[in-house]
Amino acid sequence: MPCHESLAVPPPEGFVRVRMTVAYDGTPFHGFARNPGVATVQSELEDTLAQVLRHPVTVTGAGRTDAGVHARGQVVSFDADESHFEPSALSRAVNRMLGPTIAVDNVETAPPTFDARFSCTGRSYRYHIFNSPVVDPLTRHFTWHVRDRLDIGAMQHASGAIVGTHDFTSFSKRNKSRPQQTFVRTVREAQWRKSADDVTFEITASAFTHQMVRSLVGMCVEIGRHRRRVEDMGVVLRALSRGAAPSPAPGRGLVLWRAHYD
Amino acid sequence: MPCHESLAVPPPEGFVRVRMTVAYDGTPFHGFARNPGVATVQSELEDTLAQVLRHPVTVTGAGRTDAGVHARGQVVSFDADESHFEPSALSRAVNRMLGPTIAVDNVETAPPTFDARFSCTGRSYRYHIFNSPVVDPLTRHFTWHVRDRLDIGAMQHASGAIVGTHDFTSFSKRNKSRPQQTFVRTVREAQWRKSADDVTFEITASAFTHQMVRSLVGMCVEIGRHRRRVEDMGVVLRALSRGAAPSPAPGRGLVLWRAHYD
C-alpha cells in the first residue's frame, strides 16, 4: 500500500531512525501495545530504550500481538539521538536490562522513512498445537493442547479456501472505536504440518485483522475434529459474520514469526 | 546385566506391577528422587498415586534426573492394589491431580518382575543448546544459551572418543556414600545435530553415571569454542580425574528422552 509509505515521517534533526528485531515470551505480558497499568512489550521496550538513550522513545511494531502471544521476529522502529546511538552497545545494554523474557537483535540504522508497521509488506505467524491425549509439560506455555486426534489432511484442504484476497469479517474481532475499518486481507500462504504429535500452522499475509490467525486456527481445528466439514471454511468466510465461526484458539500457541520488508 | 533381573521382587498378593511413562518440566523440581522438605517428581507421583489408589506407593524410575532436568520418556514402576487398578481411569485421575508440570501416559500392567530401573537396558538423553549471540525467550527454560559460535564438526569428532565401553570417572560426580561405585559405562551413540541456531546432542548408553551427560556436554562445548582440542576428549577420559574436565553444562538443557526395555 504505497499511500502508507508517503505518511512516514522522517526523524527530527540530530536523530536517526533505528530498526530492531525483537523476540519475546508473551506469557507475562498483556500483549504488545502500551496499555496503562499493565506490563506490555511496548512499554518494557520504550522504558528501557529511554534509559539507555536518555530521551523519551516511541516504538512502532510490525504486529500488535495480543496477550500471551509470542514473537521470534517482531520488528520495531524508533528514533534515537545520533550522539548516543551505537548499534552493538545499544543491543548489549538493552538485553542486559530487559532480562530473559524479551531479547533484541539486529539493531541497525534504517532509512529516514522506514516505519516497522507501514513499511512492512507481509507478516508470517506460526501456531503450535500439541496433539496428544496427554499434555506435554515441556511445551505447555507455547502450544495449544488438543486431545482429539486431528485430521491434518482435512485442515490443509480447508485452508485452501482462505488463500487469496478475502473479506475476513467472520474471522476478525471488531474494534468498536473504528466502525469504518476493513477486514479485507490477502493471505499468501497457509500450511499445516505435522511431525509426531507436533502440529504447526504457518500463515503469511499482507497484514492480519485482530484475532484473525487464532480464529482461523479455531475453525481448522473444528474441521480436524470432524465437527465441521471442509466446505464449511468457505461457508463461514462468505457469511461475513463472526457469529458463524467457532471460538478463536488460545493466544499461547501463536508466534509472530517474521515481518517482511522489500 | 542379568544378575539385576533376578533381584526383582514380584508384587505382594493382590497387587499388580504397573509400568507408566512420565513427562515433566523439571524447572520447579529438586530432581526426580524423593528428598525430604523439597518438591521432587518422585514425591509428587507417589503422593498422587497414593491418593488415587488409597494405599502407600513407592515408585522406581528408569533415570534419577537432577534438579532442573526434564523428561519426555521417563518410565516408572510401582505396585497397585488390583481391586482399585484400572489403567485409563488411573491415568485420567493422576493427570487431573498433577497439573501441567507432570504428565503420565501409557499406564499398563507389567510382568511381576518388571522394574523400571533394573529392567531398563538403555537410556537416551537429549541436550539442547541455543547457539546465538542473543537469548531465545521462548526456549530459555529448556536450553543452554551459548553465545560463542560452536564448531559442531569438532564436537561431533570429539564425541567419537566416548562411544564404546569406558571408565567415565572424569565425567562423573562421585557419591561419597558409595566409595566402591564403578564409573564404567557403555555409550552406544553420541550425535550432535544443528538446525539454524538449535544445537542438539543425542546420547544413548546402557546407563549413565551422575552428571555424566552434562559433563560430556560441557567438554564438547569447550571443544566447539576451540578452547580445548578435539583430542582432549580422549586425554580427559583417560585421566580418570574429574578435575581434568570442565564444568558440567546446566541442567535445564537436559531431557531424559527415552528408556529402553527388551
DSSP string, B224-235: HTTSS-TTHHHH
| Whole-number Å distance between alpha carbons of A70 and A252 | 7
CB contact under 8 A, B95 and A24: no
- Give the per-residue pLDDT at B3: 39
- Give the CA distances from residue A38 to residues A29, A141, B199, B232, in Å, rounded to whole numbers and listed in that order: 8, 20, 36, 52
Mutation for testing the B interface, residue in A97, A138, A254 having most B CBs under 10 Å: A138
| Whole-number Å distance between alpha carbons of A125 and A249 | 14
A27 has a pLDDT exceeding 60: yes
* Among A77, A103, A63, CA closest to A213: A63
Considering only CB atoms, A103 lies closest to which of B102, B104, B134, namely B134
Looking at residues A235-261, what average pLDDT do you find?
Answer: 96
Q: Rounded to an integer, what is the distance from CA A234 to the centroid of its chain? A: 24
B143 has a pLDDT exceeding 80: yes
Mean pLDDT, chain B, integer: 94
- Strand pairing category for B254-260 and B70-81: parallel
List pLDDT tens digits, range B23-75: 999 999 999 999 999 999 999 999 999 999 999 999 999 999 999 999 999 99
Helix (H) or strand (E) segment spanning residue B152: helix B152-159
pTM of the model: 0.85
List pLDDT tens digits, range A32-43: 999 999 999 999
- Chain A positions touching chain B (beta carbons under 8 Å): 23-25, 70, 72, 91, 95, 100-105, 133-138, 140, 142, 255
A2 has a pLDDT exceeding 50: no
Smallest CA–CA distance, residue A95 to chain B, in Å, is 8
CB contact under 8 A, B137 and A255: no
pLDDT band at A5 (very low <50, low <70, confident <90, very high): very low
A6 has a pLDDT exceeding 50: no
With CA atoms as reference, the chain A residue closest to B254 would be A138
DSSP conformational letter for A117: T
Write down the catalytic residue from B25, B47, B66, B197. B66
Q: What percent of chain B has pLDDT over 90?
A: 88
CB contact under 8 A, B137 and A105: no
| Helices assigned H by DSSP within A54-102 | 87-98
Residue B14, number of CB atoms within 10 A of its CB: 9
| Whole-number Å distance between alpha carbons of B130 and B147 | 8
